[in-house]
């Protein structure tokens, strides 16, 4: 991928710029004069020109382009703005005040994307939301989508157990509780454990703790910059971190067993979650003891029916053994996950258009 370009021969300015690039977790190209800058000038996602070379670059017959930033040395220099305009720069930044902005700009230049966020929540306890979340994430990996599965329930025992991955090394939520601000997406991806070719952010088996919403916001933002899909398994307790996820989700799926009491419980979840998420859908898990259909449940809950999935033999046994769900392509669960991903991708394409 093209990298941001620093154009300066000032060693002090270059040291500062390289320090910020390291903070943002971004690799850059460096040019010490105009001829060296020419090959990368058009393709670089962001160009930062040092104060020593602003005039030379402006006279260098380089093409006019967007995403050019000039590094100012002296706030009292009235000429820097005129020279930046002659160059066609969009911004003049001064250190140290402009350092946070430039760190963010460097990160956005490389990671300037936003993957889909799918939230999954149970209509009642034991509904199968964790199983569906893991199955969708694994199905996405099978489609060559960069995917992260996130455990949003501190009382759930750890979603890494679904994969038998409790001993796999990597960061868990307690390691990220103090996270704030912008998180380098590449660094986060490298630090998380991989299970069944899937990146997983889980809780551990330690004492559960309430995550600050700032940590959840920062981690999810970083994940969406590097992933095509982020799947979050949510608790039924709509605390502040859960509400943050729901407000950011492209789609939220409510999983409900085909039971009368489960439907009544899910009505409360749906009414509260529906205030936060823009697209709330229903998945019904059979069989129904009383013959309750998915269409009847959808009408009762006022939700569009995404699909119904029947029980699979040995699924619970496989999960206890750490064998992930939806590994068999013809299973009912795998078919549901394929349909869900098709609809997510189509909706994302419509939004992008």
Predicted confidence at residue 112, as pLDDT, reads 62
The hierarchical CATH code for the domain 116-352 is 3.40.50.300
Intrachain domains 5-111 and 116-352 with the same fold: yes
The tens place of each residue's pLDDT in the chain, 353 residues long, gives 689 999 999 999 999 999 999 887 788 999 999 999 999 999 999 999 999 999 999 999 899 999 999 998 887 777 888 899 999 999 999 998 899 889 888 887 876 667 899 999 999 998 999 999 999 999 999 999 999 999 999 988 899 999 999 999 999 999 998 887 777 777 888 899 999 889 999 999 888 778 889 999 989 988 988 889 999 999 999 999 999 999 999 999 999 999 999 999 999 999 999 999 989 999 999 999 989 999 999 999 999 999 999 887 777 777 777 777 766 667 889 899 999 999 999 988 887 66
Per the rule left: phi > 0, alpha: psi between -120 and 50, beta: everything else, 61 is: left
Question: Which top CATH class is 5-111?
Answer: alpha beta
pTM of the full predicted structure?
A: 0.76
Hey, where are the domains in the chain?
Answer: 5-111, 116-352
């Amino acid at each position: 991928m093209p990298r941001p370009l620093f154009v300066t021969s000032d060693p002090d300015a270059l040291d500062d710029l390289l320090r910020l690039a390291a903070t943002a977790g971004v690799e850059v190209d460096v040019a010490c004069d105009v001829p060296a800058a020419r090959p990368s000038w058009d393709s670089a996602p962001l160009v930062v020109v040092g104060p020593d070379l602003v005039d030379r670059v402006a006279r260098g017959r380089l093409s006019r382009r967007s995403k050019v930033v000039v590094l100012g040395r002296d706030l009292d220099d009235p000429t820097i703005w005129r020279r930046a305009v002659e160059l066609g720069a969009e911004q003049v930044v001064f250190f140290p005040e402009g350092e946070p902005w430039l760190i963010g700009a460097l990160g956005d230049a490389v990671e300037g994307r936003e993957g889909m966020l799918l939230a999954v929540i149970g209509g009642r306890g034991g509904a199968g939301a964790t199983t569906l979340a893991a199955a969708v994430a694994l199905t996405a990996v099978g489609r060559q989508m960069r995917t992260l599965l996130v455990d949003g329930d501190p009382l759930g025992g750890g979603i890494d157990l679904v994969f038998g991955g409790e001993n796999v090394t990597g960061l868990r939520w307690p390691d990220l509780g103090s996270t704030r601000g912008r998180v380098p997406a590449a660094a986060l991806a490298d630090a998380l454990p991989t299970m069944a070719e899937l990146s997983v952010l889980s809780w551990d088996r330690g004492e559960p703790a309430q995550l600050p919403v700032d940590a959840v916001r920062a981690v999810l933002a970083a994940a969406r910059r590097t992933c095509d899909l982020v799947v979050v398994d949510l608790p039924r307790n709509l605390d502040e971190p859960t509400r943050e996820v729901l407000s950011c989700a492209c789609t939220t799926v409510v999983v409900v067993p085909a039971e009368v009491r489960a439907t009544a419980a899910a009505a409360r979840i749906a009414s509260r979650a529906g205030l936060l998420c823009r697209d709330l859908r229903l998945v019904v898990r059979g069989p129904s003891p009383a013959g309750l259909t998915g269409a009847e449940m959808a009408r009762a809950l006022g939700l569009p029916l995404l699909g119904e999935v029947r029980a699979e033999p040995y699924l619970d046994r496989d999960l206890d053994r750490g064998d992930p769900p939806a590994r068999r392509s013809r299973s009912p669960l795998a078919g549901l996950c394929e349909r869900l991903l098709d609809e997510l991708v189509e909706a994302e394409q419509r939004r992008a258009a």
